[in-house]
Amino acid sequence: MQGIKFLGNKRIQVKDFPKPQSQRQNVVVKVKASAICGSDLHGYFRPEESEFIAGHEVAGEIFEIDRPTYLKVGDRVSIHNMIGCGHCEFCRSGDWIFCHRVKILGHSVHGGDAEYLVVPERNCFLLPSDLSFEQGALLGDAVGTPYRAIKRLGVNGTHTVALFGLGPVGLGALLILKLLNCKVIAVEISQYRLDMGREFGADVVLDPRKEDVLAKVKEFANKKGIDVSIDCAGQAITENQALEVVKEGGRVAFVGENASATIKPSDQFIRKELIVIGSWYFNVGEYEELTNLVQRGLGIEKIITHRFNLEKAEKAFETFASGQSGKVIFRFD
Ligand SMILES: [Zn+2]
Ligand SMILES: [Zn+2]
Amino acid identity of residue 301, one-letter, is E
Q: Which ligand is nearest to the CA of 139?
A: 1
Ligand 1 centroid to 105 CA: how many Å? Answer: 10
Q: List the chain domain ranges.
A: 2-127+299-331, 143-278
Q: Count CB atoms within 10 A of the CB of residue 40.
A: 24
Instruction: Please give the distance, rounded to the nearest whole angstrom, from the Cα atom of residue 36 to the centre of ligand 1.
Output: 7
* Span from the CA of 80 to the centroid of ligand 2 (angstroms): 14
> Could you say which ligand is closest to the alpha carbon of residue 93?
2
Map residue 275 onto helix, strand or coil.
strand
Q: Which residues surround ligand 1, an ion (CB under 5 A)?
A: 37, 141
- CATH 3.30.590.20 corresponds to the domain 2-127+299-331: no
Rounded mean pLDDT, 121-134: 97
Sign of CA dihedral 69, 74, 78, 80: positive
| Cα(129) to centroid(ligand 2), Å | 30
- What is the pLDDT of the chain when averaged over all its residues? 96
Question: If you average pLDDT over residues 81-103, what whole number do you get?
Answer: 96
Distance 47 CA to ligand 1 centre (A): 21
> Per residue in 206-251, pLDDT tens?
999 999 999 999 999 998 899 999 999 999 999 999 999 999 999 9
CA 49/CA 45 separation, integer angstroms:
10
On whether the CB atoms of residues 120 and 27 are closer than 8 A, the answer is: yes
The model's pTM is 0.96
Non-local (6+) Cβ contacts of 181 within 8 A are 157
**Overall average pLDDT of the 148-174 stretch:** 97
The distance of Cα 230 from the centroid of its chain, to the nearest Å, equals 14
94 alpha carbon, closest ligand: 2
Decide if pLDDT at 170 tops 90.
Answer: yes
How remote is the CA of residue 82 from the centroid of ligand 2, in Å?
A: 10
- How would CATH label the architecture of 143-278? 3-Layer(aba) Sandwich (3.40)
Q: Convert the pLDDT of each residue in 258-310 to its tens digit.
A: 999 999 999 999 999 999 999 999 999 999 999 999 999 999 999 999 999 99
Q: b or e along 57-83 (b: 16 or more beta carbons within 10 Å of the residue's beta carbon)?
A: bbbbbbbbbeeeeebeeebbbbbbbbb
d(CA 187, CA 163): 6
Q: Do domains 2-127+299-331 and 143-278 have the same CATH topology?
A: no
Sequence-distant (≥ 6) Cβ neighbours of residue 314 within 8 angstroms: 10, 11, 12
Compute the distance from residue 109 Cα to the ligand 1 centre, in Å: 15
| Distance from Cα 89 to the centre of ligand 2, integer Å | 7
Does residue 197 register a pLDDT over 90?
yes
How far away, in angstroms, is 270 Cα from ligand 1 center?
Answer: 32
- Under 8 Å between Cβ of 145 and 278: no
Strand segments, DSSP code E, in 200-258 are 204-206, 226-231, 246-254
Indicate the burial class of 270 (C-beta count within 10 angstroms; 0-12, 13-18, 19 or more). exposed
Quote the ligand 2 centre to 92 CA distance (angstroms): 7
CA distance 142 to 136: 10
How far does residue 225's CA lie from ligand 1's centre (Å)?
Answer: 31
Q: Region of 40 please: left (phi>0), alpha (psi -120 to 50) or beta.
A: alpha
pLDDT of 164 reads: 98
Question: What is the mean pLDDT of the segment spanning 33-37?
Answer: 97
Model confidence over 52-77: pLDDT tens digits?
A: 999 999 999 999 999 989 999 999 99
For residue 238, the CA-to-ligand 1 centroid distance in Å is 20
Phi, psi of 200 (to 5 degrees): -85, 5
